[in-house]
Structure 1
Amino acid sequence: MIDNIKKSFSTFKPSINKCDSPSFYSVLIPLLQINNSINILFQVRSNSLKSQPGEISFPGGKFEKHDVLFEKTAIRETCEELGIDEKNIDIICPLNTFVAPFNMVIYPFLGEIKNFDCININKDEVDHIFLAPLNFFIDNEPSIYKTDVHIIPHKNFPYHLISYGQNYKFKTGTYDVLFYEYKDYVIWGITAKILKDFIDSYKKRK
C-alpha cells in the first residue's frame, strides 16, 4: 500500500497550494539599455479599462491554457500591449513568484526589450509608457505603509464545528503597501512589491 503512494509521488513537483482557486498571471519587468544606461519600462493603464484604470503596471496578464508556460503568458501579453514582436524580447530569467492575499498568483519574468523604436503601444490597454533608470530604484527605497488583514467569516460559516464557536479568535496579520515616487509617477501596490523584490535580488548579486 505505502509503496503505491511512494511510486505515485516519485515524480511529484511541489507547487503552490491551489485550495483557494487562485487566478494565475505573468508579468514582464522589461529592461532597456539606452546610451549605456539601463532603464525599466513601465506602462500606464488605459483609463477605459475596467480593472485598475490609469494605474502603473508592468506588461502582463492572465495565464491562458494555450500558453502552456507562464513565460509564454508574459511574452504574449507584452507583445499585445506594447505592439512588439516576440523576437524583440529576450527573457533573462524567472523571478520570485508573488502570492497576493486575494487569490492571485503572479509569475514575474525579467527580460530585455532589444529595440525601443519598435514599440507601438495598444491604446485600448495602455495610455502611455515611460522609462525610469534602474539606478533610481537601487538608490531609493520605497515608502512602506502597513494595513491590517482580518478574517471575516461569511454568514453561513459553521461556527458550531469549531472550538469556542462565534467567540473563536481568528488570527490577524499585516500587509505592507509599497510606494515609489519617480518624477510625477507613483508606482505602488503589487507592481511596487514585484519591483522591490527584483531590486533586492539584484543588489545581492551585484
Structure 2
Amino acid sequence: MNKQIFLSRFLFHNRQNVSDLIAHKSPLNLNQQGLKKAAVLLPLIKRQNGLNLIFTERALHLRHHPGQISFPGGRYEPSDHSLQQTALRETEEEIGILQRQVSLFGSLPNLPTGSGFMISPFLGFIDNEHTIAIEPQEVRSVFEVPLSYLLDVNNYYKQHLFTHKKRHFTYCIPYQNRLIWGATAQILKNLQEHLAK
C-alpha cells in the first residue's frame, strides 16, 4: 500500500481531520479511573515496496516491559503542550527522529492499559532523510515492518493470559524473530479495523 492510498483510506474513515489534530494544543482530559496520560507515535516511512512502520525494542534493563516491542512514546510531562508533543518528544529522545521530520496526520482511539496508562496513539509520516540515533537507556534496537504485513488479519492470533487472577487475551503478531503483542498489537489491530470500515 502506498502513501496516497493509505492516507486517503485513513482520513476517509477518521472523524478527526488533520487541522483538528494540529490545532489541539491542550492536553486531553484522560484521567479516567486515575490512569496516567501517555502518547505513542506510529512512524510510517515510505520505502520502495510501500509503507513500513518503525518499531522499537525496549531495553532489557527497564523496570516496565523490558525487551518488549513498542512504538516510540511515553508518559505525558507537564512541560508538554499536548499529547502530540509528548509523542514527538519521546520519539526524538528514544530514537533520534527530529520533531520537524515528522508530519502528523491522524490519531487512533485512546487505549487503557493494565499498567495504569491511557495511551493516545498518533500517526505520522517520517522524512526519509532522518537518522536513527538510539538512546540505549531506553531502546535496545529499532526495526521496520511492512504495513501490508501488519494489515493482514492472517498474521494475528490471540493468546490468553492470566494477570491479577483474571483471564484476558492479547493479540500477537509474529514477525521474523520478534513477537509484537500487548498494547502495541492492540493499537495495530485498531488501525487494521479502522481501515477495514
Report the TM-score range of the alignment, normalised by the length of the smaller protein.
0.7 to 0.9
**Offset at 1:174?**
5.1
Counterpart of 1:143? 157
CA distance in 1, matches of 2:31, 2:98: 34
**TM-score normalized by structure 1?**
0.74
1:89 aligns with 2:102: yes
Confirm or deny: 8 A CA contact 1:93 1:110 kept in the other structure: yes
Counterpart of 1:131? 144
Counterpart of 1:104? 117
For residues 56-112 of structure 1, give each alpha carbon's deviation from its aligned partner in whole angstroms, at most 9, with x where no partner exists: 110000001111211010000001011121111111112111012443211000111
Confirm or deny: 8 A CA contact 1:32 1:114 kept in the other structure: yes
Counterpart of 2:169? 176
Cα RMSD after superposing both structures: 2.1
**Offset at 1:144?**
0.7
CA distance in 2, matches of 1:15, 1:109: 16
**TM-score normalized by structure 2?**
0.78
Corresponding residue to 2:195 among 197, 202, 205:
202
- Counterpart of 2:71, as a letter, is F
- Counterpart of 1:129, as a letter, is V
- Counterpart of 1:104, as a letter, is F
**Offset at 1:148?**
5.7
| Structure 1 residues 95 and 126: alpha-carbon distance in aligned structure 2, compared to 1, 3 A threshold | same
| Structure 1 residues 143 and 96: alpha-carbon distance in aligned structure 2, compared to 1, 3 A threshold | same
For residues 125-173 of structure 1, give each alpha carbon's deviation from its aligned partner in whole angstroms, at most 9, with x where no partner exists: 11111111001012234111234677x8xxxxxxxxxxxxxxxxxxxx7
Between Structure 1 and Structure 2, whose CA radius of gyration is higher? Answer: 1
CA distance in 1, matches of 2:62, 2:161: 26
Confirm or deny: 8 A CA contact 1:32 1:116 kept in the other structure: no
**Offset at 1:49?**
1.8
Confirm or deny: 8 A CA contact 1:143 1:178 kept in the other structure: yes
Corresponding residue to 1:187 among 164, 172, 180:
180
Corresponding residue to 1:22 among 22, 25, 35:
35
Confirm or deny: 8 A CA contact 2:30 2:37 kept in the other structure: no
- Counterpart of 1:201, as a letter, is H
Structure 1: which 5+ runs fail to align? Answer: 1-13, 153-172
Of structures 1 and 2, the one with the larger relative CO (CA 8 A, separation 6+) is: 2
**Offset at 1:27?**
0.4
Corresponding residue to 1:119 among 123, 129, 132:
132
Counterpart of 2:58? 45
The count of residues paired between Structure 1 and Structure 2 equals 169
Moved more, 63-72 or 100-109: 100-109
Structure 2: which 5+ runs fail to align? Answer: 1-27
